[in-house]
């Protein structure tokens, strides 16, 4: 394999990554709980419809909700047990959401539902059967947004995809779940990728891994040989947040730029997280639906930071208990689902782990950023570090004075919300928050205009 040319995107930064906290330890499995609350809506798109009723007996991996539309995935029970109530629990994004309660029944909790047969000869299986399996296993993107994987693998005929990109960058500080997965299951991940490549019919697979994960890189490179009929290239990427951003990753590996508002398929690429590829392997070769994931539980207050195999629906409190709880003299200021740059702060310990919970991060009160919004110094640090090369300081001031028209002119809609501009701001301005507000306002405005036109 010749070394691929790497395109460096402008901007970005590398904060202290704290990855050593969790990456050094072996992956542990959490003990089984008496009760799980499986979130109904774990994917982008329509939430699935519940297809079981209270009191039904389910096995591990039994389908408990059916997809409601094309952009939707089924949901499976993480353990064998009885279906409980349809509850409303605190959701990972801050608002209360619906969840199915599963009460496990003790001894045979680990017994798998065998409705999905393992497909051992996947190389000779037609692509649509494989795609059906990926849908049936309820696989979504496991990096962040939880976009249904089968949708990504179904590009419309007018937008042919020729490159499959595996996202192993894991540029968020603290998180190491992809790192340990690549170190321990490189072959499985690449088999999953080969299956996805077969479904897509692509001839080129790129695996992008940040340069600070040497061990994972070596493991993946070794496993890459002869695994797929497509050419597999494992590429070391510059260590720079947000290297794992979809647009930045595509640019780094192929030099193609996704224009604002377009999708990766517009430039002939499909991007899958390494966790999703592992899930594809598990679904096709073992017939196991996606009910479990590796999540990093980390942060200085955690007694045993590390990576844990966690079943979907495990409440945050149980995951923390599994990691030994918090240190006695710690003052936890924030609990975050995801990484410190783009994750969501939690207000309850009842929030269940879902398909895209890549990490549970606890920060000491002193480590938490406080954005008090001082006056902008026009120092240009935000502009220098913006991975989208936006005029952040101008935008931020425009949004602050509610000049959303100016914000739109300056391309606020292109913002990734990666958080770099806020993080580096000396005046501690909440830039990302301003842009979220502007985007929401502009969306509303657009909707209003549309309605007006319809009215006429």
Partner 1 sequence: MSDEPSKNVSAEEAPQKKVLLPDPRHLILSPSPHIQVGPGSGKIMLLVILCLVPALISSLLFFGLQALRVLVICTVSCAFFEFLWCVIAGRKSTLHDFSAVLTGILLGMNVSSLTPAWVCIAGSFVAVIIAKQVYGGLGQNPFNPAAVGRIAMLIGAAGPMTKFAVPRAVFFSPAADALTGATPLGAAGITAGMGKTLEYFNSSDFLWRAFVGEIGGSLGETSALALLIGGIALIALKVIRWHIPVAILGTVAIFVSLVNYFSPGTTPGVLFHLLTGGLMLGSFFMATDMVTSPVTVKGGIVYGIGIGILVCVIRIYGSYPEGMSFSIVLMNALVPLIDRFCYIRPFGYQNIKVNKIEPRRGEIK
CB of 321 vs partner 1, minimal distance in Å = 5
Region from 99-107, 133-141, 276-284, 408-416 binding partner 1, contact rule CB under 8 A: 408-416
Query: Contacting partner 1 (CB under 8 A), which of 73, 161, 277, 326?
Result: 326
301 contacts partner 1 (rule: CB under 8 A):
yes
Residue of 381, 396, 398, 439 interacting with partner 1 (CB under 8 A): 381
The binding track of 141-160 with respect to partner 1, each residue x by CB under 8 A or -, is --------------------
* Closest CA relative to residue 175, chosen from 279, 306, 304: 306
Q: Are strands 163-168 and 204-210 parallel, antiparallel or unpaired?
A: parallel
Stretch that binds partner 1, among 48-56, 72-80, 113-121, 363-371 (CB under 8 A): 363-371
Dist. CA 290–CA 281, nearest whole Å: 11
**Per DSSP, what are the bridge partners of residue 241?**
13
Nearer to partner 1, 182 or 360 (CB): 360
Residues numbered 232 to 271 that lie near partner 1 (CB under 8 A) are: 247, 251, 257-260, 262
Distances, alpha carbon 100 to alpha carbons 40, 64, 89, in Å: 7, 8, 10
Q: What are phi and psi of 160, to 5 degrees?
A: -70, 140
Which of the residues 32 through 71 are near partner 1 (CB under 8 A)? 33-34
Cβ burial of 328 (10 Å; 0-12, 13-18, 19+) is exposed
- Scanning 48-56, 97-105, 221-229, 410-418 for contacts with partner 1 by CB under 8 A, the matching segment is 410-418
The closest of 202, 47, 201 to 128, measured between CA atoms, is 201
Cα separation, 71 vs 317, whole angstroms: 31
Q: Which of residues 411-440 bind partner 1 (CB under 8 A)?
A: 411, 414, 417, 419-420, 422-428, 430, 432-433, 436
Site for partner 1 in 177-216 (CB under 8 A): none
106 interacts with partner 1 by CB under 8 A: no
Residue 359 contacts partner 1 per CB under 8 A: no
Judged by CB under 8 A, the number of residues near partner 1 is 95
Residue 332 and residue 364 in contact, taking contact as beta carbons nearer than 8 Å: yes
For 401: left if phi > 0, alpha if psi spans -120 to 50, otherwise beta; the answer is alpha
Among 81, 340, 352, 359, contact with partner 1 (rule: CB under 8 A)? 340
Residues 305-324 that bind partner 1 (CB under 8 A): 315, 317-318, 320-321, 324
C-beta of 187: minimal distance to partner 1 in Å?
Answer: 34
Calculate the alpha carbon distances from 387 to 9, 11, 74, 341 in Å: 7, 5, 35, 14
HSE toward the beta carbon, residue 326, CA cutoff 13 A: 18
Output DSSP code: residue 285: I
Which of these ranges, 74-82, 269-277, 286-294, 358-366, lies near partner 1 under the rule CB under 8 A? 358-366
Please report where in the chains the tokens 């028209």 appear, as a residue: 405
| 374: contact with partner 1 by CB under 8 A | yes
Alpha helices in 333-390 (DSSP H): 381-385
Comparing CB distances to partner 1, the nearer of 125 and 433 is 433
**If binding is defined by CB under 8 A, does position 371 make contact with partner 1?**
yes
Whether the Cβ atoms of residue 337 and residue 315 lie closer than 8 Å to each other = no
Instruction: Map tokens 């603290």 to a residue.
Output: 174
CB closer to partner 1 out of 28 and 187 = 28
- Are β-strands 292-298 and 306-311 bridged in parallel, bridged antiparallel, or unpaired? antiparallel
Q: Is 393 in the site for partner 1 (CB under 8 A)?
A: yes
Closest contact distance (angstroms) between CB of 54 and partner 1 is 23
300 binds partner 1 (CB under 8 A): no
Angstrom distance (rounded) from CA 264 to CA 357: 23
CA distances from 62 to 51, 55, 65, 137, 138 (A): 11, 14, 9, 10, 11
Asked if residue 404 binds partner 1 (CB under 8 A), the reply is: yes
Shortest distance in whole angstroms from residue 411 CB to partner 1 = 5
Q: Which of 51, 127, 145, 379 binds partner 1 (CB under 8 A)?
A: 379
């Amino acid at each position: 394999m010749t070394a691929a040319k790497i395109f460096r995107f402008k901007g970005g930064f590398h904060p202290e990554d704290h990855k050593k906290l969790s990456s050094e330890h072996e992956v542990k499995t959490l003990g089984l709980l008496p009760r799980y609350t499986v979130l109904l809506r774990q994917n982008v798109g329509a939430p699935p419809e519940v297809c079981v009723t209270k009191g039904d007996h389910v096995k591990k991996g039994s389908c408990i909700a059916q997809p409601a539309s094309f952009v939707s995935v089924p949901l499976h029970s993480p353990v064998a047990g009885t279906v409980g109530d349809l509850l409303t629990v605190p959701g990972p994004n801050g608002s209360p959401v619906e969840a199915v309660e599963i009460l496990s029944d003790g001894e045979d909790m680990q017994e798998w539902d065998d409705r999905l047969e393992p497909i051992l000869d996947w190389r000779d299986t037609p692509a649509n059967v494989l795609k059906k399996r990926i849908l049936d296993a309820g696989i979504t993107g496991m990096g962040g947004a939880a976009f249904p994987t089968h949708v990504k693998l179904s590009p419309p005929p007018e937008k042919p995809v020729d490159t499959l990109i595996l996202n192993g960058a894991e540029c968020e500080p603290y998180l190491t779940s992809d790192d340990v997965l690549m170190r321990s299951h490189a072959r499985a991940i690449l088999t999953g990728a080969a299956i996805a490549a077969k479904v897509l019919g692509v001839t080129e697979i790129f695996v992008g891994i940040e340069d600070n994960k040497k061990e994972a890189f070596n493991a993946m490179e070794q496993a890459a040989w002869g695994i797929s009929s497509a050419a597999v290239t494992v590429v070391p990427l510059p260590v720079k947040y947000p290297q794992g951003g979809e647009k930045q990753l595509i640019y780094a590996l192929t030099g193609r730029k996704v224009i604002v508002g377009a999708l990766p398929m517009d430039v002939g690429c499909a991007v899958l997280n390494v966790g999703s590829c592992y899930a594809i392997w598990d679904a096709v070769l073992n017939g196991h639906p996606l009910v479990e994931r590796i999540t990093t539980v980390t942060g200085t207050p955690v007694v045993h930071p590390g990576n844990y195999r966690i079943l979907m629906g495990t409440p945050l409190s149980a995951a923390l208990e599994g990691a030994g709880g918090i240190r006695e003299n710690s003052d936890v200021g924030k609990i975050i689902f995801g990484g410190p740059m783009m994750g969501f702060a939690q207000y309850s310990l009842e929030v269940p782990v879902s398909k895209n919970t890549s990490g549970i991060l606890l920060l000491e009160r002193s480590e938490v950023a406080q954005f008090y919004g001082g006056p902008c110094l026009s120092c240009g640090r935000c502009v220098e570090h913006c991975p989208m090369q936006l005029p952040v300081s101008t935008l931020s001031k425009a949004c602050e004075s509610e000049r959303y028209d100016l914000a739109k002119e300056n391309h606020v809609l292109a913002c990734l919300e990666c958080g770099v501009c806020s993080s580096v701001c000396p005046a501690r301005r909440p830039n990302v928050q301003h842009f979220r507000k502007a985007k929401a306002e502009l969306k509303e405005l657009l909707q209003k205009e549309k309605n007006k036109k319809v009215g006429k």
